[in-house]
Amino acid sequence: MTEIVGVSFKKNSKTYYFSPNGLKLKKGINVIVKTERGLQFGTVEFENRQLEDLNVKIPLNEVVRISSKKDYNQHSKNIEDAKVALKKCKQLVEQYKLNMVILDANYTFDRSQLLFNFLSEKRIDFRKLAKDLANIYKTRIELRQIGIRDKAKNIGGCGSCGRPLCCSKFLNDFDSVSISMAKNQNIALNPNKINGVCGRLLCCLKYEDDCYKECGKKLPKVGKKVETEFGEGKVISIDILKQKYKVDVKNHGIIEMEVHESN
């Protein structure tokens, strides 16, 4: 078992595991943590708890300290300075006529790095831009090209279910999602129904796909001819979760059939 604490860096964003480093931390406390990018300012989402080693990526980064008023002021300054840097970066992009859309700018807490996320349909040669930004802000500059799903992950928001976006809350990677998954689940192929706020297929179509496939094996395909107590008919619809299907029988009408375990 490993002792962990959950920390997030933005409101309604993903929670990351950190070693509490001997500290007893309560939800809502601001902390300074060590990450691959340097020191970061975060908020405790859940307090100390034990977790099975299989569910933890070892070694964990550590909580460095509970933040002070000075730390909070530094964090606030970083946010304001990043807004200024974002505006300047956009001006340079326009000046150099680069085909890229700058989405946001973020300083690490210790200002050892200034990260810009951008969207572009092509690879961009941004070496001159990065050099100019480094000369202006005197820190390491990273320009990261992200996809439309990454944009939704970074910005956050609510899905059609009314809950925070899965990508911004807990997904580490984007699984491949196909239109066949929507078909397997009998969902109308309406873009408004099967696409997320990013405009791509809903990530959650992947979650129950295996279950729908397994349950669907017991049901006949729509259009198949089947025998009923009233004669032969054609399957016109199926309900995978209820394990029922409707059959149109000539000279009798539509009847509802149910799958039995023996089938």
Domain CATH for 82: 3.30.300
Residue finishing a domain among 67, 86, 106: 67
In a domain, residue 218? The reply is no
Same domain, 83 and 142: yes
Domain end: 67, 82, 117, which one? Answer: 67
CA distances from 105 to 50, 78, 117, 212, 230 (A): 35, 10, 7, 42, 68
Q: Looking at the structure, do residues 52 and 77 belong to the same domain, yes or no?
A: no
Is the domain of 77 the same as that of 140?
yes
Question: Nearest Cα to 169, choosing from 157, 160, 181?
Answer: 157
Residue 261 pairs in a beta bridge with none
Residue 219 lies in a domain: no
Q: Give the max Cα distance, the chain.
A: 83
* Judgement on whether residues 134 and 177 belong to the same structural domain of the protein: no
Co-location of 113 and 79 in the same domain:
yes
- Pairwise CA distance, residues 185 & 19, whole Å: 41
pLDDT of 250 reads 86
Tell me whether residue 95 is in a domain.
yes
Question: Within a domain: residue 246?
Answer: yes
Say whether both 63 and 78 belong to one domain.
Answer: no
- Residue 57 belongs to some domain of the structure: yes
How many whole angstroms from its chain centre is CA 197? 11
pTM (predicted TM-score): 0.68
User: Is 154 a member of any domain?
Assistant: no
pLDDT at 263: 43
The answer to whether residue 263 is domain-embedded is: no
Same domain, residue pair 60 and 83 = no
- In DSSP terms, which residues pair with 8 in a beta bridge? 43
C-alpha distances in Å from residue 197, one per residue of 15, 25, 89, 141, 202: 21, 35, 26, 29, 9
Neighbours of 245 (CB within 10 A): 23
Domain membership flag for residue 196: yes
pLDDT in tens, the chain (263 residues): 889 999 999 876 788 899 999 999 999 999 999 998 889 999 999 999 988 876 677 789 999 999 999 999 999 999 999 999 999 999 999 999 999 999 999 999 999 999 999 998 888 899 999 999 999 999 999 999 887 787 777 777 888 888 888 887 777 667 788 888 888 887 888 888 888 888 888 888 888 888 888 888 888 888 899 888 888 899 998 888 888 889 999 888 898 888 876 54
The domain boundary, picked from 14, 36, 67, lies at 67
**Count of domains forming the chain:** 4
Range of the domain at 87: 73-146
Residue 200 to residue 42: CA distance in whole angstroms: 30
pLDDT recorded at residue 217: 84
